Amino acid sequence: RKKIAIFYFQNETGDSTIDWLRYGLPWLCDADIEQDFYISHTNQQYFNYKVENAGYTQDDNLPLSVKKKISKTLNKNYFLEGSFKIIDDAYIIKTKLYRTDNGNLVNENRYVGSEIFTLTDKLVKQLKIDLEIPLQYLDAATDLPVSSITTDNKEALASYIKGSQKSKDNKYDAAFAFLSNAVENDKYFLQAQFAIAMLKMNFLQDASWKEDWGIILKTIDKLNDRTKFYYKMEYYFLIG
């Protein structure tokens, strides 16, 4: 299996109001890759504590040497970094894939387009090629558009990412407001439904979490097999 760590992307637009894409693009990549059992993957959301232990924050542009070291501690063979900017309403996303053992650049790519979901699909497809996953396997493997297994609503995605960041910072009321906006914009954004259900249950003592789970379970076939299994396991653990 190929093993990869994805770091937060750098916002090169100069516009802090779209900083959420720093976290959102890696999250979308992660959600897309989740369909593929050939790849063992994680993104900085799950190992940011290692960034902090190294003396940095999630807002910092980490030195390549630090990314290499963190990737090694995660037992990943590769790591991905990226950046984005916007010119004439088009997103320009640049990525660089490195080997963890020696820090050598494997490949760098540039993607241009108006839809972040489509760009993510292209990015992940190329990433699999750069990881030298056999084309015969790729041709046979399930690879649905990331928007079909998450959301196709950019406002919903932005609110979900912002809510996740607030929840991580223990700002639960602000997290609830963002996550509520996410599911209002897309009722069937199941990752957002899951996040708000767990927030209500664990921190807000809001019994309506059961309604969120009702939506998740009714439409769970939207999700990839990995996520579907994880959500069902969580639900049956909750209800005993």
pLDDT digits (tens, 9 = 90+) for 19-46: 999 999 999 999 999 999 899 999 999 9
CA–CA dist 52, 57 (Å, integer): 6
Tell me, what's the pLDDT at 144? 97
Tell me how far apart the alpha carbons of residues 87 and 229 are, in angstroms, rounded to a whole number. Answer: 40
- Note the pTM of the prediction, 2 decimals: 0.95
CA angle 169, 170, 172 (to 5 degrees): 120
How is residue 7 annotated by DSSP? P
CA atoms within 13 A on the CB side of 206: 15
pLDDT at 240: 73
Tokens 């046979």 map to which residue? 140
- 49 burial via Cβ count (<10 Å: 0-12, 13-18, 19+): exposed
pLDDT in tens, the chain (240 residues): 899 999 999 999 999 999 999 999 999 999 999 999 899 999 999 999 999 999 999 999 999 999 999 999 999 999 999 999 999 999 999 999 999 999 999 999 999 999 999 999 999 999 999 999 999 999 999 999 999 999 999 999 999 999 999 999 999 999 999 999 999 999 999 999 999 999 999 989 898 999 999 999 999 999 999 999 999 999 998 887
Which of 149, 118, 134, 151 has its CA nearest to residue 35? 149
E-strand stretches of the chain: 2-6, 10-11, 39-43, 78-87, 90-99, 105-113
pLDDT of residue 238: 85
